[in-house]
Amino acid sequence: MGRILISGIRHSLFFFALFPAAITATAQTALPEVFTEGSVKEQMNYIQEKTRIYEDFRAIREDMFQKLKRNATDSINAARKEIGTLIAERQDRDLRIDSLNSAIDNVKSDLDVMTRTKNSIALFGMEVNKKVYNSILWTIIAVLTGLLAIGFLAYKRNHIITVNTKKEYEELKKEFEAYRKASREAREKMSMAHFNELKKLRGA
């Protein structure tokens, strides 16, 4: 208990001894340039290097302490302001990113619609893929071409048959006319011969 009391008295005497000196130094000495030009870290390093430690206590000039306090407060406020600005910029950037992503999704959707429209054809009110449509179209064309070829061959065959039939008919007609003429001549000859025979019989 006595030791603690003696130690407290010594500390008090030490600070009381330093206090007038600190006041005098403050009144007579201007602040070092580091407190106006340097960073807070440089100011703290300066205090660490230029002040002494006595039994775990460090004596700091009041003007230096107040200046360091103001500078630290200003730095913290500036950092907070910058952080707020960065947060606002990040939120604005996130909004723009979301807007761009939405625009990209819309563009992709429009591109998909355009691709489907480009690759499809409306047929009887239905969207048909162009490949399927082309396959159906070429199949129909092939079938029609086949039917046209078959029809042409059938027409050609019928035409040949018709020409041959007409030719045979003309030949048959000629043969019939010749046969009828020969039959008439033979009948006339037979009638004449029969008449001559009757005439002979009557004369006898």
Rounded distance between C-alpha atoms, residue 196 and residue 6, angstroms? 199
- Number of other residues whose CB lies within 10 A of the CB of residue 128: 15
Domain ranges of the chain: 2-99, 128-204
Q: 58 in helix, strand or coil?
A: strand
pLDDT band at 122 (very low <50, low <70, confident <90, very high): low
Q: Which residues, other chains included, contact 39 with Cβ-Cβ below 8 Å and sequence gap of 6+?
A: 75
Confirm if 85 and 54 have CB atoms less than 8 A apart.
Answer: no
Stretch 122-128: mean pLDDT: 67
Q: pLDDT (tens digit, 9 = 90+) per residue, 22-36?
A: 444 444 478 888 888
User: What's the confidence (pLDDT) of residue 123?
Assistant: 63
pLDDT of 186 strictly over 70: yes
User: What's the confidence (pLDDT) of residue 21?
Assistant: 43
Stretch 120-126: mean pLDDT: 66
Buried b / exposed e along 10-41 (16+ C-beta atoms within 10 A):
eeeeeeeebeeebeeeeeeeeeeebbeeeeee
User: What's the confidence (pLDDT) of residue 114?
Assistant: 76
**31-35, 52-56, 96-100, 135-139: which has the highest mean pLDDT?**
96-100
> How confident is the prediction for the chain on average, in pLDDT?
80
Stretch 152-172: mean pLDDT: 90
